[in-house]
Amino acid sequence: MARQTEKGAAAGAAVERLEDRALSRVLHHSTAQAVAKHLDLHTVGELLEHFPRRYLSRGQLTSFDELELGQEASIISRVVSVSTRSLHTRRGSIAEVLVTDQLEPSAQPLLPVPDAVPAPGGPRLDALAHAPAPDAASSSPGATMSLTFFNAFTAAKDLTPGDHVLFSGKVSEFRGRLTLTNPHYAVLSDLAAAGDPDEVPPPIPVYPAGAKFMTDRVSAAVAAMLSKVDLGECEDPVPADLRRSYRLMPAARAYEAIHRPRDEEEHHRALRYFRFREALVLQTVLARRAAALGRLHAPRFAPRSGGWLERFDAALPYALTGGQRRIGEEVAADLAADRPMNRLLQGDVGSGKTLVALRAMLQVADGGGQSALLAPTEVLASQHHRSIVSALGELAAPEGGLFEAEGVGVVLLTASMPAARRREALARIASGAAQIVIGTHALLGEKVSFADLGLAVVDEQHRFGVNQRHALGASEGTVPHQLVMTATPIPRSVAMTVFGDLAVSVLDEMPPGRQEVTTHVVSLAEHPAWEGRLWRRAREEVDAGHAVFVVVPSIGGEGNGGSGSRSRAGGESGQLQSVEGLSAALAAQPALRGVEVGELHGRMDAEAKARVMDRMVGGELRLLVATTVIEVGVDVPDATLMIIMDADRLGISTLHQLRGRIGRGSLPGTCLLVTEQDAQGASRPRLDAVASTRDGFELSRLDLEQRREGDILGSSQSGSRSTLKNLSVLKHPEIIEAARQDARRLVAEDPSLRAWPDLARAAARVGADEQTEYLYQG
């Protein structure tokens, strides 16, 4: 730590960081240029951070079974034979190198090196890539592979039967067998064969490389750089005492061990360092933010006896669920304290989150404050407004009064409102006459002036970035309380990483009387005839007076059709995967004759959307073709059937949310996941999972297992230069937990982190492109 402090002092004099040094000053001119061109890396830091994707161990051959067509592969193979022959149509010759993935020469005679097979009409160059004898494919496939080199002279000189060679190239297919097109190679056999047999030769790093800049050239560039710079100068955000107590390497050794590990163990130790470092830096950012938040104050709203909340509870037609009561108490206590509440409420679709929010808003109203409820869409905002006014019943103040009226003032504010009504709404918000303000995030995030904003409720947080808390009414020193609601359960390690110190409440109990919803996967690939049955089924529901949703992944018009290609409902394919296309086709369906087909999609203006939803809720419109805009929260109590077209194109959580739109009233529902994929389709496990359970937490677990990290943390965290490269919020919760405690301790001891300048700098960089957006969408 002492060393860091000294370095910090030196850094004050604007000494260039080693990481910022241009590669052109370190590497040979042409190498630096190639690295810039092919890998887009320009500084020492960037190349240092360009970690190998994996490692190959010398002395082991890579099984050809692992190769995938089209992939850039690096493999270690044993050379079986090398032959050259001249080309007929071109000067020069080619070398054909037969390689195997078997260590020992097998007992069976190896495949003969095929003679040149002249292709009809003269050989084309690319067709020469691989020309096995006709019977070659049948005998022990995968055990040998023939590689073709146009630099025949050099290849024949470099490669000798028995050599172990690292080949890198694009996996292609020729005559039904795999090959690498014009591969790069590096001979390893001197290391494999010679040397001490007891000494394990070091692993070979395989870098993410471009087709024109293979892993061996990356290795060479890295080696050249490492020989030129003193890694001791590089930044080490992990304080020395933490390094010691966790037995982590210093940064310099960790970089060395990542790029040139002596053995596998060393590489793992380096990874441990980087994982902890990433966790520590991020947790430091969060801890500093939490500390800053902790210095803020929030207005206090103690429960008031005889107030709105009490009267509301007394009139409630049903009992609160256990979870609603417990979380209600937690929230009530938070609101009564002068620290801003920062709470995440997780609860599956239909678990009754809105009621928890409404009760909190009433407590704030009792204390004379205002609340804002932010919904992700206008449709949802209108719906919240409707259902809150109706839940309040007589407690709601009559609409329209500018001044204090007897009752809780509820105001809807949307972009599509006529200007006069909007002005009126704004006036009621500014005067404090509106105690509950409902709107879209986009709108309320703007400069709406509140008389006294005490609580912001953010519905369906997974649609928003985390930072939006700052947008809302955070004036100097005092901020509103915040309650964030999500139907997508988030594992603790993720919540800790993304939200920092958010308190998490889980509504794990469903209100009684939830209706049964049956879900089926309808594979049109397996049962083409079922398509007609879909629409007859829809007809039956409409005839029974029930509402039917048909969901399509895209709006249409832009030819963004997608995967399926069969034509449907007698129309043209592609078109039908859109709202416009499918609704036109449905209007022409004999089974649906006389049924009005409504449309809902994000490109419609808000008023048109609201009109359509009102007609659905009112029972006037019974069949709606929609995009996933209806995914969240839309409440049509008598909706009984949901047909999701091309369901394979949607993620688990989206499907689950969509299904949550039915079975909300007194009627059981059916959800049909329609797909063109058969039982072997890549997305079938996802669809089968959704069909197998309605438990959102279970589905979320399945969902997370299938996701990549970047999908969870949002785009800025997933790029090649992101904050979390080696750390997985799903796989390394213990590292995150440990780092969190350390970060909090460091920040508590020294809020400005003066003693740890490297950590301070790294945290500042992360905080600067502070985009810990939470894109937790399917």
Among 78-86, 103-111, 142-150, 315-323, which window interacts with ligand ADP (CB under 6 A)?
Answer: 315-323
451 DSSP 8-state letter: S
Name the minimum Å distance from CB 354 to ligand ADP.
3
Spatial distance between the Cα atoms of 215 and 211, rounded to a whole number of angstroms: 9
Among 188-196, 209-217, 347-355, 720-728, which window interacts with ligand ADP (CB under 6 A)?
Answer: 347-355
| Contacted by 351, from ligand ADP, Mg ion, none: CB < 5 to 8 Å by type | ligand ADP
Residues in a beta bridge with 437: 372, 411
| Contacted by 651, from Mg ion, ligand ADP, none: CB < 5 to 8 Å by type | none
> Which amino acid is residue 398, in one-letter code?
P
Question: For ligand ADP, which residue of 10, 318, 734, 741 counts as binding (CB under 6 A)?
Answer: 318
355 binds ligand ADP (CB under 6 A): yes
**Mutual orientation of helices 378-392 and 606-618 as an angle, nearest 10°?**
50
352 binds ligand ADP (CB under 6 A): yes
Nearer to ligand ADP, 155 or 485 (CB): 485
Distance from the Cα of residue 202 to its chain's centroid: 35
Residues in a beta bridge with 523: 675
Nearer to ligand ADP, 283 or 482 (CB): 482
Q: Are 201 and 56 in contact, with CB atoms under 8 Å apart?
A: no
| Contacted by 350, from ligand ADP, Mg ion, none: CB < 5 to 8 Å by type | ligand ADP
Nearer to ligand ADP, 351 or 371 (CB): 351
| Contacted by 324, from ligand ADP, Mg ion, none: CB < 5 to 8 Å by type | ligand ADP
Question: For ligand ADP, which residue of 215, 354, 377, 468 counts as binding (CB under 6 A)?
Answer: 354
Q: Are 67 and 75 in contact, with CB atoms under 8 Å apart?
A: yes
Q: Under DSSP, is residue 371 helix (H, G, I), strand (E, B) or coil?
A: strand
Tokens matching residue 64: 């050809």
Name the minimum Å distance from CB 640 to ligand ADP.
16
For residue 732, count other CB atoms closer than 10 A to its CB.
21
Residue count of the chain: 778
User: How is the beta sheet containing 370-375 ordered, strand by strand?
Assistant: 410-413, 436-440, 370-375, 453-458, 481-486, 342-347, 503-507
Distance from the Cα of residue 461 to its chain's centroid: 14
Question: For ligand ADP, which residue of 237, 347, 439, 556 counts as binding (CB under 6 A)?
Answer: 347
Rg (CA), the chain: 32
> Binding string, 25-64, against ligand ADP, x = CB under 6 A?
----------------------------------------
153 binds ligand ADP (CB under 6 A): no
321 binds ligand ADP (CB under 6 A): yes
Question: For ligand ADP, which residue of 50, 353, 609, 661 counts as binding (CB under 6 A)?
Answer: 353
Name the minimum Å distance from CB 489 to ligand ADP.
12
Binding region for Mg ion (CB under 5 A): 633
Question: For ligand ADP, which residue of 320, 332, 415, 525 counts as binding (CB under 6 A)?
Answer: 320
> Which amino acid is residue 725, in one-letter code?
K
Q: Please, which of residues 502-561 interact with ligand ADP by CB under 6 A?
A: 511
Spatial distance between the Cα atoms of 725 and 731, rounded to a whole number of angstroms: 13
| Residue 596 to residues 537, 584, 586, Cα–Cα distance (Å) | 15, 11, 9
Q: Are 642 and 551 in contact, with CB atoms under 8 Å apart?
A: yes
H helix or E strand, kind and range, residue 29: helix 29-34
Nearer to ligand ADP, 347 or 367 (CB): 347
Nearer to ligand ADP, 166 or 309 (CB): 309
Name the minimum Å distance from CB 698 to ligand ADP.
17
Number of residues near ligand ADP (by CB under 6 A): 14
Name the minimum Å distance from CB 328 to ligand ADP.
11
Q: Which residue's beta carbon is nearest to the bound Mg ion?
A: 633
Q: Are 688 and 708 in contact, with CB atoms under 8 Å apart?
A: no
Q: Please, which of residues 368-387 interact with ligand ADP by CB under 6 A?
A: none
Name the minimum Å distance from CB 352 to ligand ADP.
3
495 binds ligand ADP (CB under 6 A): no
Nearer to ligand ADP, 4 or 700 (CB): 700
Name the minimum Å distance from CB 317 to ligand ADP.
8
Q: Under DSSP, is residue 140 helix (H, G, I), strand (E, B) or coil?
A: coil
Q: Quickly list DSSP for 637-668.
A: TTEEEEEETTGGGS-HHHHHHHHTTSS-SSS-
Question: For ligand ADP, which residue of 132, 169, 328, 350 counts as binding (CB under 6 A)?
Answer: 350
Tokens matching residue 302: 């103690």
Spatial distance between the Cα atoms of 493 and 323, rounded to a whole number of angstroms: 22
Residues in a beta bridge with 75: 167
Name the minimum Å distance from CB 251 to Mg ion.
47
Name the minimum Å distance from CB 417 to ligand ADP.
23
End-to-end CA distance of the chain: 44
Name the minimum Å distance from CB 386 to ligand ADP.
12
351 binds ligand ADP (CB under 6 A): yes
Tokens matching residue 75: 């493999």
Nearer to ligand ADP, 191 or 320 (CB): 320
Alpha-carbon dihedral angle through residues 729, 734, 738, 743, given to the nearest 10 degrees: 10
Nearer to ligand ADP, 205 or 347 (CB): 347
323 binds ligand ADP (CB under 6 A): no
239 binds ligand ADP (CB under 6 A): no
Helical segments of 295-408, H only? 308-315, 322-336, 353-366, 378-392
Q: Which residue, among 309, 444, 438, 423, has the nearest Cα to 383 in the 3D structure?
A: 438
Spatial distance between the Cα atoms of 161 and 471, rounded to a whole number of angstroms: 68
Name the minimum Å distance from CB 58 to ligand ADP.
56
349 binds ligand ADP (CB under 6 A): yes
Binding site for ligand ADP (CB under 6 A): 318, 320-321, 324, 347, 349-355, 487, 511
